[in-house]
């Protein structure tokens, strides 16, 4: 854009080598791949970030990116991704839960033991409520077990929104009219509120993934959804959070990451489980001695 250049804010075009440097760095750090066909798009997003950070040059910006000052990696990646939260955001993981994970879980469980599922970070609650509705709609054994859904976040305002359960029409865009009718009440102003019975079914708590003492209050989960947060932690925090999550899982319990995240960038503690719908990670079962 000629405008930026005129104001002397920074380079508006990256060289091909600069784009490659950014792509190689992002691939190493996050696992994300950008095809050559998206070159122009990368160029634009990085140029915008150079302007926003007032770096003045690619070299200065790249130093900021590599050191992840002010969470620049997250800012850059967010510039490439659509960040809306909405219900049933990653349906393939929900399908994997009902078609594969739960079967394995109940095989080793007593009927009296609850199935414990944790959404952390839960943000404004779309994810834990999606899990609850999906189980009601799609799991044939949903009435045979007690299911506990815990939803946690470090952001207390987000937790309040979740506990209130009121959402915009846009957040419901993936839900069928039937499902909306069953679990939501329409409010004035194109808003919808989750039915009190369902709101009451989810336990919202404040928790910090990196705080081991905090996380020690949570144990024996069968499934943890921990999406789109670990990949943005620094090296040290990623290790600590991974160990905390390991401890929060039952042996054999599963952890689901974000769509473009992989344990290859996070931790070697978990086993890779490839199901037809998704790759899910597992805390090894007890007595799993093989290296």
Q: 277 near 100, Cβ under 8 Å? A: yes
Spell out, one character per residue from 106 to 145, where the chain touches another protein: x when CB under 8 A holds, - when not: -------xx-----------------x--xx-----xx-x
Using CB under 8 A, which of the segments 77-85, 86-94, 162-170, 242-250 binds another protein? 242-250
CB atoms within 10 A of CB 161: 17
CA dist 86 and 88 (Å) reads 7
- Single residue of 16, 70, 168, 190 touching another protein by CB under 8 A: 16
- Single residue of 104, 208, 260, 267 touching another protein by CB under 8 A: 267
DSSP 173: T
Task: Using alpha carbons only, give the angle 210, 126, 226 rounded to the nearest 5 degrees.
Answer: 30
Least distance (Å) from another protein to the CB of residue 291? 6
Q: Is 83 or 185 the residue whose CB approaches another protein more closely?
A: 185
Three-state DSSP at 95 gives helix
Count of H-run helices and E-run strands, the chain: 13, 10
Say which residues have a Cβ less than 8 Å from residue 103's Cβ, sequence separation at least 6.
none
Q: Is 84 or 234 the residue whose CB approaches another protein more closely?
A: 234
Question: Can residue 234 be called a binding residue for another protein (CB under 8 A)?
Answer: yes
CA distances from 16 to 30, 113, 215 (A): 21, 57, 44
Q: Is 148 or 190 the residue whose CB approaches another protein more closely?
A: 148
Least distance (Å) from another protein to the CB of residue 167? 19
Question: Can residue 92 be called a binding residue for another protein (CB under 8 A)?
Answer: no
CA dist 23 and 32 (Å) reads 8
Question: Can residue 291 be called a binding residue for another protein (CB under 8 A)?
Answer: yes
CA dist 103 and 140 (Å) reads 11
Q: 231 near 267, Cβ under 8 Å? A: no
Using CB under 8 A, which of the segments 44-52, 98-106, 186-194, 259-267 binds another protein? 259-267
Least distance (Å) from another protein to the CB of residue 121? 16
Q: Is 173 or 272 the residue whose CB approaches another protein more closely?
A: 272
CA dist 176 and 155 (Å) reads 29
Q: What's the distance, Cα to Cα, between the start and end of the chain in Å?
A: 54
- Single residue of 3, 6, 8, 28 touching another protein by CB under 8 A: 28
Question: Can residue 262 be called a binding residue for another protein (CB under 8 A)?
Answer: yes
Q: Which helix (H) or strand (E) holds 26?
A: helix 16-30
Extract the tokens encoding 248.
Answer: 């929060």
- Single residue of 5, 15, 36, 71 touching another protein by CB under 8 A: 15
Question: Can residue 35 be called a binding residue for another protein (CB under 8 A)?
Answer: no
- Interface ranges with another protein (CB under 8 A): 11, 15-18, 20-21, 24-25, 27-28, 31, 57-59, 62-63, 66-67, 113-114, 132, 135-136, 142-143, 145-150, 197-198, 200-203, 205, 212, 217-220, 234-236, 239-240, 243, 246-247, 262-264, 267-269, 272, 274, 279, 284, 289-291
């Amino acid at each position: 854009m000629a405008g930026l250049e005129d104001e002397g804010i920074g380079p508006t075009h990256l060289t091909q080598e600069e784009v490659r440097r950014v792509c190689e760095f992002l691939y190493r750090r996050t696992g994300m791949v950008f095809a050559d066909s998206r070159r122009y798009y990368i160029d634009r997003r990085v140029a915008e970030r150079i302007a926003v950070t007032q770096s003045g040059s690619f070299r200065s910006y790249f130093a900021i990116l590599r050191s992840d000052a002010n969470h620049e990696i997250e800012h850059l990646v967010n510039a490439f991704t659509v960040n809306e939260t909405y219900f049933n955001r990653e349906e393939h993981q929900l399908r994997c839960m009902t078609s594969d994970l739960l079967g394995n879980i109940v095989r080793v469980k007593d009927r009296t033991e609850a199935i414990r599922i944790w959404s952390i970070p839960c943000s404004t609650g779309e994810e834990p409520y999606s899990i609850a509705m999906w189980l009601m709609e799609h799991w044939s054994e949903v009435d045979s077990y007690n299911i506990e859904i815990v939803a946690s976040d470090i952001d207390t305002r987000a937790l309040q929104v979740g506990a209130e359960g009121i959402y915009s029409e846009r957040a419901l865009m993936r839900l069928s009219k039937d499902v909306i009718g069953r679990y939501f009440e329409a409010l004035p102003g194109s808003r919808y509120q989750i039915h009190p019975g369902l709101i009451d079914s989810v336990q919202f708590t404040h928790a910090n993934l990196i705080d081991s003492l905090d996380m020690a209050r949570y144990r024996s989960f069968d499934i943890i959804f921990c999406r789109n947060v670990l990949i943005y932690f620094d090296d040290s925090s990623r290790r600590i959070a991974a160990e905390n999550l390991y401890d929060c899982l039952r042996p054999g319990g599963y952890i689901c990451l974000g769509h473009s995240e992989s344990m290859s960038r996070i931790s070697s503690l978990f086993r890779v489980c490839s199901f037809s719908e998704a790759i899910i990670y597992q805390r090894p079962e007890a007595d799993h001695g093989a290296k």
